[in-house]
Amino acid sequence: MFPTKNDIPKADREKLIKLLNATLADSVDLQTQIKQAHWNVKGPNFIGLHKLFDEIYDDAVEYGDTIAERVVQLGGVALGTARIAAKGSSLREYPHDIADGAKHVDALSSALAAYGKTVRAAIDKADDTGDAGTADMFTGISRGIDKWLWFVEAHQQAKS
């Protein structure tokens, strides 16, 4: 760890950095899953989903950047390479054999929901260390992910 005048005790910062880097691995994985959907979606809703997935990706990149910067603020090293993310992500692998928009909606909504669950758990863990700043950061990310999950799931909820 790097020295810092941050008043969070070192032992707590070490726990937070581990939590943040685990969530960063999920964030990087989520970003690649969103792009997988964006690049490969097909069907009558192609353009709408293609654009929606790109908007979600932009926010997901921002979430990952915010998490990585928090790691460094606490004196840690952000571990955000693709190889580290592949080893450390808790998200399930995104299906490689789908093209249909509805199947991408289902797969991406599952990924967003899993990531949201992880982030909500991280809120509680950050609270347990007494770090309101990290908990608040995770809370903001949780709200954003819930919004995108709503946008994606809305494509499944209409009745014919």
CATH number for the domain harbouring residue 85: 1.20.1260.10
- Coil, strand or helix at 42: strand
pTM (predicted TM-score): 0.95
For residue 99, the enclosing domain spans 10-157
Is 18 part of any domain?
Answer: yes
CA distance 160 to 149: 21
pLDDT in tens, 107-138: 999 999 999 999 999 999 999 999 999 999 99
pLDDT per residue over 52-65, tens digit each? 999 999 999 999 99
Residue 58 included in any domain: yes
Residue 47 clears pLDDT 60, i.e. is over it: yes
Bridge partners (DSSP) listed for residue 100: 42
Q: Is residue 2 part of a domain?
A: no
Rounded to 5 degrees, φ, ψ at 131 are -95, 90
Domain count, the chain: 1
Please tell me the distance from the alpha carbon of residue 48 to that of residue 1, in angstroms, as a whole number: 45
103-115 per-position pLDDT tens digit? 999 999 999 999 9
Whether 1 maps to a domain, the answer reads: no
Q: Is 31 domain-assigned?
A: yes
Residue 63 lies in a domain: yes
Domain membership of residue 138 (yes or no) is yes
| Cβ contact 149:112 at 8 Å | yes
| Residue carrying the six token digits 């950061």 | 137
Could you tell me if residue 141 is inside a domain? yes
Q: What's the confidence (pLDDT) of residue 156?
A: 87
